[in-house]
Chain A
Amino acid sequence: MPLDAFLLVLRLLLIVLLYLFLMQVVIAITRDLRKTAQNSTEGGGQVASILGHLVVVDSGPSSITPGTRFDLETQTTIGRGPTNTIQLPDSFISAEHTRLSYRNGQWSVQDAGSVNGTFVNNQPAYNALPAKAGDIVRVGYIQFKLTQ
Chain B
Amino acid sequence: MASQSPSGIFRRYRWTELGLFIIPFLIVILEMSQLLLANKDQTSSLSTRNLPTIQGLIPAIGLIAALLIANMVMSVFFRKADQVLLPLVGLLSGIGILMATRLGPDLNPFPDPALGSRQLVWVLLGIFVCLATLFLLRNINLLARYKYTAAFLGIVLVCTTLVNTLRVKNLDSPTHDQLNLGPFALQPSELLKICLVIFFAAYLSENRDIFAEGSLKFGPFRLPPLRQLGPLTLMLGIALLFFLFVRELGLALLIYGLFLSMLYLASGKFSYVATGLLIFAALGLIGYSLFSYVRTRFAVVGFNVVNWQNWTAKDDRFATNGGLQILQGLIALSSGGILGAGLGLGNPAGRYFVPVVQSDMVFTALGEELGLAVLFAIIAIYLLIIYRGFRIAIEATDTFNQLLAAGLTSIFAIQTFIIIAGNMKFLPLTGIPLPFLSYGGSSILANYIIVGILLRISYNTAVERDGTA
Enumerate chain A interface residues (CB-CB to B < 8 A). 3-4, 6-8, 10-15, 17-22, 24-26, 28-29, 32, 94-96, 99, 101, 103-104, 112-113, 115, 126-127
Partner of B30, one of A3, A14, A96, A101: A14
CA distance A18 to B371 in the complex (A): 12
CA distance A101 to B466 in the complex (A): 11
CA distance A8 to B340 in the complex (A): 10
Cross-chain contact B20 with A4 (CB below 8 angstroms): no
With A15-B373, A112-B399 as contacts: A7 and B84 at CB distance below 8 Å: no
With A13-B30, A18-B27, A21-B23 as contacts: A113 and B205 at CB distance below 8 Å: yes
Known pairs A17-B27, A95-B208 / 8 extra A-B pairs, C-beta < 8 Å: A10-B342, A11-B342, A17-B30, A18-B373, A21-B23, A25-B20, A112-B399, A127-B139
B384 contacts the other chain (CB 8 A): yes
Q: Which of chain B's residues have a CB closer than 8 A to the CB of A95?
A: 208-209, 212
Kindly report which residue of chain B lies nearest to residue A104, judged by CB atoms: B467
CA distance A19 to B374 in the complex (A): 9
Partner of A25, one of B342, B343, B384: B384
B40 contacts the other chain (CB 8 A): yes
Cross-chain contact B377 with A18 (CB below 8 angstroms): yes
Q: Which of chain A's residues have a CB closer than 8 A to the CB of B26?
A: 17
CA distance A35 to B206 in the complex (A): 33
B448 contacts the other chain (CB 8 A): no
Q: Which of chain A's residues have a CB closer than 8 A to the CB of B380?
A: 22
Q: Which of chain A's residues have a CB closer than 8 A to the CB of B24?
A: 21
Q: Which of chain B's residues have a CB closer than 8 A to the CB of A7?
A: 34, 37-38, 41, 342, 345
Q: Smallest CB–CB gap between A90 and chain B, Å?
A: 13
Complex A-B: 25 CB contacts under 8 Å? A3-B41, A4-B41, A7-B345, A10-B33, A11-B340, A14-B370, A15-B373, A15-B374, A15-B377, A17-B27, A19-B377, A21-B20, A21-B23, A22-B377, A22-B380, A25-B84, A25-B384, A28-B20, A29-B384, A94-B208, A94-B209, A99-B397, A112-B398, A113-B208, A115-B209
CA distance A48 to B37 in the complex (A): 65
Q: Which of B378-398 contact A (CB under 8 A)?
A: 380-381, 384, 387-388, 397-398
CA distance A94 to B399 in the complex (A): 12
B19 contacts the other chain (CB 8 A): yes
Kindly report which residue of chain A lies nearest to residue B44, judged by CB atoms: A7
Judged by DSSP, the binding face of A is helix
CA distance A110 to B40 in the complex (A): 64
Q: Which of chain B's residues have a CB closer than 8 A to the CB of A104?
A: 467
Kindly report which residue of chain B lies nearest to residue A96, judged by CB atoms: B399
Q: Which of chain B's residues have a CB closer than 8 A to the CB of A10?
A: 30, 33-34, 37, 342
Kindly report which residue of chain A lies nearest to residue B91, judged by CB atoms: A21
Enumerate chain B interface residues (CB-CB to A < 8 A). 16, 19-20, 23-24, 26-27, 30-31, 33-34, 37-38, 40-41, 83-84, 87-88, 91, 139, 141, 205-206, 208-209, 212, 339-340, 342-343, 345, 370-371, 373-374, 377, 380-381, 384, 387-388, 397-400, 464, 467
Partner of B37, one of A3, A14, A21: A3
Q: Smallest CB–CB gap between A56 and chain B, Å?
A: 23
Cross-chain contact A28 with B84 (CB below 8 angstroms): yes
Q: Which of chain A's residues have a CB closer than 8 A to the CB of B371?
A: 11, 15
CA distance A28 to B384 in the complex (A): 11
Q: Smallest CB–CB gap between A92 and chain B, Å?
A: 11
Q: Which are the 3 A-B pairs with shortest beta-carbon distances?
A: A21-B23, A103-B467, A18-B377
Cross-chain contact A17 with B23 (CB below 8 angstroms): yes
Q: Which of chain B's residues have a CB closer than 8 A to the CB of A14?
A: 27, 30-31, 34, 370, 374
CA distance A13 to B371 in the complex (A): 13
Kindly report which residue of chain A lies nearest to residue B202, judged by CB atoms: A113
Cross-chain contact B339 with A15 (CB below 8 angstroms): yes
CA distance A126 to B467 in the complex (A): 19
Cross-chain contact A22 with B34 (CB below 8 angstroms): no
Partner of B398, one of A13, A15, A18, A113: A113
Q: Which of chain B's residues have a CB closer than 8 A to the CB of A32?
A: 84
Q: Which of chain B's residues have a CB closer than 8 A to the CB of A126?
A: 141
Cross-chain contact B23 with A11 (CB below 8 angstroms): no
Interface centre among B40, B83, B87, B209 (most CB of A within 10 A): B209
Q: Which of chain A's residues have a CB closer than 8 A to the CB of B370?
A: 11, 14
Q: Which of chain A's residues have a CB closer than 8 A to the CB of B91?
A: 21
Q: Smallest CB–CB gap between B141 and chain A, Å?
A: 8
Q: Which of chain B's residues have a CB closer than 8 A to the CB of A113?
A: 205-206, 208, 398-400
